[in-house]
Chains A and B, each alone.
Chain A
Amino acid sequence: MSIETSGYGTFLIILIMAVVTLATRWGGVFVMSFVPINYRVQQFINAMSGSVLVAVLAPLAVTGDNGARLALLTTAVMMLTLRKPLPAIAAGILMAALSRQF
Chain B
Amino acid sequence: MLSVEAGSVSLDRNLVWSGFKQLLPISLFVIVFAVAFGLAAAQTGLDATSTLLMSTLVFAGAAQFAVLDLWGPHVPVLPLVVTVFAINARHLLMGATLYPWLRELPRARRYGVMLVVSDANWAMSMQAFSNRKPGLGLLFGGGLALWSAWALGSWLGLKFGSVIQDPVSLGLDMVMGCFLLAMVLGGQKNLRMLIIWSVAAGASLLAYRYLPENAHVVTGALAGGVLGAVWTEKKHEH
Contact = CB atoms under 8 A, between A and B. Distances in A.
Given A2-B75, A37-B92, A96-B174, 6 more contacts: A2-B74, A49-B187, A52-B83, A79-B181, A92-B181, A100-B171
Interface string A7-39: 001110111111011111111111111001101
B85 interface: yes
Contacts of A1: 76-78
Q: Taking chain A's interface residues, is the majority helix, strand, or loop, or is none over half, making it mixed?
A: helix
Interface residues of A, number: 78
B85 A23 contact: yes
A37 B232 CA distance: 15
Given A47-B196, A58-B204, A79-B182, A20 B84 contact: yes
Interface in B166-220: 168-175, 177-189, 193, 196-197, 199-205, 208, 216-220
Given A4-B74, A24-B85, A55 B217 contact: yes
A97 B99 contact: no
Interface of B: 29, 32-33, 36, 46-47, 50, 53-54, 57-60, 62-64, 66-67, 69, 71-78, 80-81, 83-99, 102-103, 110-111, 114-115, 117, 168-175, 177-189, 193, 196-197, 199-205, 208, 216-229, 232-233, 235
B180 to A, nearest CB: 5
Q: Taking chain B's interface residues, is the majority helix, strand, or loop, or is none over half, making it mixed?
A: helix
Contacts of B221: 48, 51-52, 55
A9 B66 CA distance: 18
Contacts of A37: 92-93, 96
Contacts of B173: 68, 96
Contact of A27 (B83, B95, B180): B95
Contacts of B222: 48
B186 A85 contact: yes
Contact of B177 (A3, A60, A94): A60
